[in-house]
Structure 1
Amino acid sequence: MKYLLYWLLIIQTSCSIAQPKKEQNSGTILLDPDFTGKISLYENISMSKITAMVNNNIDEEDFVYFVINGSTKDLYHVKAYYFIAGYINEGWISKINALGIYVKPYDKAIPIYRESNDLSPTVATIPKNSNFIKVLDCNNSWLKIETSYEGTNINGWLEKKYQCDNPYNSCN
């Protein structure tokens, strides 16, 4: 009996190790709620087949968000959802200007970092009540953003704790 339990433990451990790792969520971004066009969701990185055309449902006020599972220089691998209607599809989307994020309201300005870690120097701070901010890239849960504040262009990394991926409220 003791040997049987031992072998079962070895088999269980071996099976667990053999399982592929799930893709890590690199963050969530929004399709700009003011964007009235459609974007293509592609089946693969070659962009040879469109699996869905994604757009905000303005009439129902049901907006699109994307959970990022990976990226290349020009594309994000995402799962696309409507906030109300739910899951749309999975695939690749182009990194377009209509993809972005809001910032959460804090008592202070929000730091924007040079690199995607909080030990990196800050390049700027943005106000707590910023408008929709364009997202350029992702690294784990950090989002590389581009915005302007008081006439200065700001390009850097926004930490997860400051991101608000909800177009309906301010993520308090």
Structure 2
Amino acid sequence: MKQFLIIVLFLISTVSIAHAVEGNLEVIINPAYKGSITIYDKPNGRIVASVKHDFEEEDYLTFSVSNQTADFFYGTLEYSISGKKFKGWVKKGKHIGTYARNYEPRKPIKLMSGASVNSKVSTTVPEQPNLFYQVTAFDKKWAYVNVLYKGQVKQGWLSPEMQCSNPYTTCN
């Protein structure tokens, strides 16, 4: 009985932890971005910090997004190597995004019309390594993205399985 109780408590705590982070979207600040990221206490509020990539140490910023408005994302910016973290609101922009994970070089990237595997395909992007997909919104772990491909902007929902928020590799 004691073992059963321990297992049940473990499962409850695991489910609670998984549920708490279920909605966070992991993105990166474009590793080529040379500007500063301004962090606010609320959308258009007081500036609490201004950070940028540390190119000398190759310490790039990642961003765990947990909330959004039309113009801002809220979450935690973190340096990948040093681990230094900053919480707050960041204005959306072309420098916030992800790469598309594609281990099948001839298979195009599908952008969906909704944040679901059951949605229709909105458009496809022929596999192109190193394209940066701007994230403009999210729904749970789905990212609404814009990507420039051969002079044309393609947009739609990118599934969590196809996202790569690692500033050191493009997952291709």
| TM-score, L = length of structure 1 | 0.81
CA deviation after TM superposition for structure 1 residue 22, in Å: 4.2
Alignment partner of 1:38 is 2:36: yes
The answer for the alignment partner of 2:26 in structure 1 is 28
**1:67-146 alignment, distance < 5 Å:** 67-107=64-104, 108-128=107-127, 129-146=129-146
Letter of the 1:161 counterpart: E
The answer for the alignment partner of 1:156 in structure 2 is 156
**Cα distance in structure 1, aligned partners of 2:62 and 2:141:** 15
Letter of the 1:62 counterpart: D
1:26 and 1:67 in contact (8 A); partners too: yes
CA deviation after TM superposition for structure 1 residue 92, in Å: 0.5
The farther-off stretch of 96-105 and 23-32 is 23-32
RMSD: 2.1
2:22 and 2:141 in contact (8 A); partners too: no
**Cα distance in structure 2, aligned partners of 1:62 and 1:127:** 30
Residues 1:96 and 1:170: Cα distance change in structure 2 (over 3 Å): closer
The percent of aligned pairs where both chains have the same amino acid is 28
Which of 42, 60, 63 is the equivalent residue of 2:60? Answer: 63
**Cα distance in structure 1, aligned partners of 2:29 and 2:170:** 16
2:103 and 2:171 in contact (8 A); partners too: no
The answer for the alignment partner of 2:49 in structure 1 is 52
CA deviation after TM superposition for structure 1 residue 94, in Å: 0.5
Letter of the 2:40 counterpart: Y
Letter of the 1:87 counterpart: K
**Cα distance in structure 1, aligned partners of 2:81 and 2:130:** 25
Q: Secondary structure at the match of 1:161?
A: helix
The answer for the alignment partner of 1:167 in structure 2 is 167
The answer for unaligned runs of 5 or more in structure 2 is 1-12
Letter of the 2:133 counterpart: I
Letter of the 1:28 counterpart: E
**Cα distance in structure 1, aligned partners of 2:86 and 2:130:** 30
Alignment length (residue pairs): 154
